[in-house]
Chain A
Amino acid sequence: KNEVEQSPQNLTAQEGEFITINCSYSVGISALHWLQQHPGGGIVSLFMLSSGKKKHGRLIATINIQEKHSSLHITASHPRDSAVYICAVRPVSFGGTSYGKLTFGQGTILTVHP
C-alpha cells in the first residue's frame, strides 16, 4: 500500500526564515506534485517533479527518486506563505499514461509570523 508521509505536520516560522517541508513515499512513482492550499480552501499547484530540482521564485522543490523523498523549500519566508502544503504522488503501479489518480499526503500547516 502506498503511503505518503509529510513532516512536519505543523511548522511555525518567523518572517525571513528558510523553510523546509519533507515528503516521503513508499512505492515507485512517475511524478510528484507539491500543492498549496489556502486558508479559504482553494488549491494551487506549485510544482510537478519526476526528477532533480525545480525553482520558482522563492520556492525550490527537490526529489530523490532512489530515496523516495522530496523536499519543498521556501527562502525568505513571508506571512503570505502561510498555508497548507500538500505532497501528492502518482505511483507507477497506477499505469504509465495520463490521468490524475494521485495519493496525497496529510499536508503541512505552515504559519509565518511577521
Chain B
Amino acid sequence: EPEVTQTPSHQVTQMGQEVILRCVPISNHLYFYWYRQILGQKVEFLVSFYNNEISEKSEIFDDQFSVERPDGSNFTLKIRSTKLEDSAMYFCASSTQGAYNSPLHFGNGTRLTVT
C-alpha cells in the first residue's frame, strides 16, 4: 500500500539554524499538510498546500516557516531560524481531496530537537 514517507526520522539542530524537513506524499494525492505535536501535547495544524500554493495556515505558521513542492514528488517544510520551542514531532500528511471529504494519510513523523 502506498505510504507517505518522511526524512529524516530524527533531526537535531542548534537554535538559530535552518532546518528542512522532507516528505514524499502519496503519488496521486493533491492536498498536502504539515502538523506538529509538542511532546505531551495535542497535535496542531500548521499548513495546507494545494495547487502549488498555501491554502490555509495556522497562527503558528509565521514568517519563520515556509513550504515548497520543488518537484513532482517532494514536499518540504523549512524553519529558517529554529527556536527551542520548535522542538516537536512534525507530521506530513496527504489526501486525494480535502480533509472535509477524504481521509488523511500521515507519515511517521520527524522528531526535531532544537538545542
- Chain B contact residues: helix, strand, loop or mixed: strand
Question: Is the pair A98, B42 in contact by a Cβ cutoff of 8 Å?
Answer: no
Any B CB within 8 A of the CB of A20: no
Taking a contact as CB atoms closer than 8 A, the residue among A43, A104, A106 that contacts B106 in the complex is A43
Question: Is the pair A107, B42 in contact by a Cβ cutoff of 8 Å?
Answer: yes
Residues of A that sit less than 8 Å from B by CB: 30-31, 33, 35, 40-45, 47-48, 50, 86, 88, 90, 94-107
Any A CB within 8 A of the CB of B11: no
Taking a contact as CB atoms closer than 8 A, the residue among A86, A98, A105, A106 that contacts B99 in the complex is A98
Question: Is the pair B31, A43 in contact by a Cβ cutoff of 8 Å?
Answer: no
Any A CB within 8 A of the CB of B97: yes
Residues of B that sit less than 8 Å from A by CB: 31, 33, 35, 42-45, 48, 50, 55-56, 58, 89, 91, 93, 95, 97-109, 111
Residues in chain B near residue A106, CB distance under 8 A: 42
A33-B99, A94-B56, A99-B98 known; A104 and B44 CB under 8 Å?
yes
Question: Is the pair A47, B103 in contact by a Cβ cutoff of 8 Å?
Answer: yes
